[in-house]
Amino acid sequence: MDILKKIKSKIGSSLKSDIIFPENKSLSKILGPYKKAYVLGSSPTIGKLNLKIIDIDTLIISMGNFHEHPDIQKIKPHVHIFAASHEPLTDSVITNWWSRSNEKLPKETLVLVENRDQLIAEKTFVNRELKRYSYGGTYPVDFQKKIVTPWSVTQVAIQLCIYLKIPETYLLGVTHDWQSCKPYEHFFKSSEPSLEFYMHREGIKTRNEQLKQPMPKEKMYRSYELYQGYEKLKLQAEEQGLKIYNGDNFSSFDVFEKRVLKELILEN
């Protein structure tokens, strides 16, 4: 019996030692419970949707450059997610971009950043609730621990929905056409102060701009890993009885079943 107790104690200690963000246990209360979630991307397709009429009983997750949406104050995302910083981004680019985001986002919107960016985030997102997460984990998803390293910030958002056990998650404004055959575009003009705007101001090229040909092998490899990441998330959701849909009528992203939210389509 003593041996069994010791084994159980070691297992329990091991599980607890993986927890690096115990404060994230509160995410379930802050961001739930909801039966449905909308994950809002920044592709041009989202400009064709009327997001001002989103059901108030829906968890709204925005990401990246979405704070530039003209109706951001009416949409009122519950949480805005940033992926981890990486080369060639500089601290000044991130600071300027996040300062712009902090000005545009509703004050009640919680911001979620990767752990490596904690210092910049704490200096920038003042008087706003801020939470951290970290890459390098494994399934099952647990935001108190490290999460699975994503290939897109949308994959962070989907992991959050799985962690919160949202029954139905709808992706809106999420397309990855630009990964292979189309230009990299947003719903706003490139001259507006997005991440790319601040990069260009410092003479930094985006990854797409650095490529010397339209279909280099690096781009194809990345697309494969990206889509495999989504397929694994789909399986994780299904194992827990959760559904993820592409709810955008204008998006051709086909990893997830398409279930169009017709009520959001703007009339021509």
Environment class of 99 (CB within 10 Å of its CB; exposed 0-12, middle 13-18, buried 19+):
middle
Backbone phi, psi, residue 171, to 5°: -90, 130
Q: Which residues pair with 79 in a beta bridge?
A: 61, 110
In a domain, 92, yes or no: yes
pLDDT given for residue 177 in this prediction: 62
Round to whole Å and give the CA distance between 159 and 185: 25
Q: In one letter, which amino acid is 4?
A: L
Taking the whole predicted model, whether its pTM rises above 0.95 is answered as no
Give the distance, in angstroms, between the CA of residue 142 and the centroid of all CA atoms in the same chain.
15
Q: Tell me the residue range of the domain where 161 lies.
A: 20-264
Assigned domain for 79 exists: yes
244 lies in some domain: yes
CATH of the domain at 40: 3.90.1480
Domain assignment of residue 10, yes or no: no
pLDDT at 52: 85
Domain-embedded: residue 9? no
Domain-embedded: residue 6: no
Any domain includes 48:
yes
Domain count, the chain: 1
Residue 150 inside a domain? The answer is: yes
Measure the CA–CA gap between 108 and 7, rounded to whole angstroms.
45
pLDDT by position in tens, the chain (length 268): 566 665 555 555 544 569 999 999 999 999 989 999 999 998 888 888 999 888 888 999 999 999 999 999 999 999 999 999 988 899 999 999 999 999 999 999 999 999 999 999 999 999 999 999 999 999 999 999 999 999 999 999 999 999 999 999 999 999 876 545 555 566 666 567 788 888 888 898 876 666 656 666 777 778 889 999 999 999 999 999 999 999 999 998 999 999 999 889 876 5
Spatial distance between the Cα atoms of 49 and 261, rounded to a whole number of angstroms:
9
